[in-house]
Amino acid sequence: MVHQIDRETGEVVPVQNADPDVFVEMDRLDEEQILRSLQGGAIEEYVYSFSQGGQTVVGLSWTGARELARSLTGIQMEDPQITQDDDQITVLIAGRDVNRQTRLFAVAQQAKLEKRRNGESVTDKFALAKALSKAQRNAILALAPTAVIVATIKHFLEQGTTRSSGRGQSTARPAVNGRAATPALPAAQADRMTSEERDALQDLLVEAGQDVPDVCQKMGIQSLLDLTPAKAAQLRTRAHQLIAARKAERAVTSDDLPFANPEGTA
């Protein structure tokens, strides 16, 4: 469920004919949050922000949906029904709003394999956790009244707990110490990796035997997109060294990766 910020009134209103890529990107970002949560990472982005056709499109993140459920107090989840075939896992779950005496079903599917940029498919060991988390998210958003969702989005926007997508030019940035951040610079000035560069680095880290969410947590970043070019280049170099060492059957540990900022680098 996505909304947009009206340019004239500043109100959060429903989106008409939202770009399907927005939902794909939100789902991808939610998967990042789910993985970070499984790794014990702190997550503070409750709203995603996108630029579409001159409008700012916003939607609750996976974490935002969970906070919404806590605020409603009456949301409960029943035991899920989990089925699977050779390709994917399907989770069907019933959510109940005991205060409004409402019961709705929600479903989510997750592929068992992740495809890397080089075309290789690897088993996604978190496929079940992702499917279950997404099904719960879908149930919460289905049960919550639209007015409550809008009010929740507005509250999080005012608090600055927003993450802007890498799609196009962003209009909001994550909060710092609870304060709303300044608007993002255009991509040419933002000094950050593109999504394509992020995907390539992610594949490289996996090839080097590294767990990407764990790497991000140790480096104190929320995702690889938060890396500056200098840090990305350094991490890429160390990953290549790990790959070479693995091929040469030499012992190189993940401690060799630059999780801390080297002195004198950005």
pLDDT digits (tens, 9 = 90+) for 194-211: 667 777 888 888 888 888
Query: In whole angstroms, what is the distance from residue 46 CA to residue 128 CA?
Result: 23
Q: Is 210 in contact with 244 (CB distance < 8 Å)?
A: no
pLDDT at residue 25 tops 70: yes
Strand locations in the chain (E)? 2-5, 12-14, 47-52, 55-60, 75-77, 81-84, 88-97, 102-111, 113-115, 121-123, 162-164
- The letter for the amino acid at 85 is D
Residue of 55, 30, 256, 19 lying closest to 137 (CA atoms): 30
Domain segments of the chain as ranges:
2-164, 195-256
**Angle subtended by helix axes 20-38 and 62-72, to nearest 10:** 80
pLDDT digits (tens, 9 = 90+) for 109-167: 999 998 877 888 899 999 999 999 999 999 999 999 888 898 889 888 887 766 665 54
| β-pairing verdict for 2-5 and 113-115 | unpaired
Read off the pLDDT band of 250 (50, 70, 90).
very low
Query: In whole angstroms, what is the distance from residue 58 CA to residue 1 CA?
Result: 9
Please tell me the pTM assigned to this model: 0.61
